[in-house]
Amino acid sequence: MNKIVITGRWTKDIEVKTVQNTSLAKSTIAVDEGYGDKKVTYFFDVDVWGKQADNVSKYSGKGRKVLIEGRLRQETWEKDGQKRTAVKIVAENVEFLDAPKPTDHLAPPEGTPYDGDLPF
């Protein structure tokens, strides 16, 4: 079984492109483990496809906390004669764990009442 559930924060804004008429959102998630001086942060590249990609790009971005359910995919390529590999997360479900701040670029326009709820 290839299944991963992980919680962390986006390290950069979401990049979106279209691949064969399907949306692909790409970013990196930072995941902390441990506390204090024993804290370690891991970084994982994440691909989100389809309608989930549209929602992630519209309602999420750098610094936002998310829970990702998905699977791992190992990619292999060659660069400068060297074989390289990387493990990515292919998200099947993305849940937003915090609401955007009123100053956030994802927040409603100024003057709109803001109660902290997302519109979905």
Q: Which domains, and CATH codes, for the chain?
A: 4-96 (2.40.50.140)
Predicted pLDDT of residue 99: 75
pLDDT over 80 (residue 5): yes
Spatial CB neighbours of 51, under 8 Å, sequence gap ≥ 6: 23
What confidence tier does 111 reach under pLDDT thresholds 50, 70, 90?
A: very low
pLDDT over 70 (residue 94): yes
CA distances from 36 to 9, 11, 63, 64, 65 (A): 18, 20, 20, 22, 20
Looking at residue 16, the DSSP 8-state letter turns out to be E
At 41-87, the pLDDT tens digits run 999 999 999 999 999 988 888 999 999 999 999 999 999 999 999 99
At 23-51, the pLDDT tens digits run 999 999 999 999 899 999 999 999 999 99
What does the alpha-carbon distance between residue 64 and residue 38 come to, in Å, rounded to a whole number? 24
Count of Cβ atoms closer than 10 Å to residue 105 Cβ: 9
Predicted pLDDT of residue 119: 52
For the chain, counts of helices (H) and of strands (E): 1, 6
In this prediction the pTM is: 0.76
Predicted pLDDT of residue 102: 57
Instruction: Name which of 112, 114, 71, 120 is nearest 96 in CA terms.
Output: 120
Predicted pLDDT of residue 98: 84
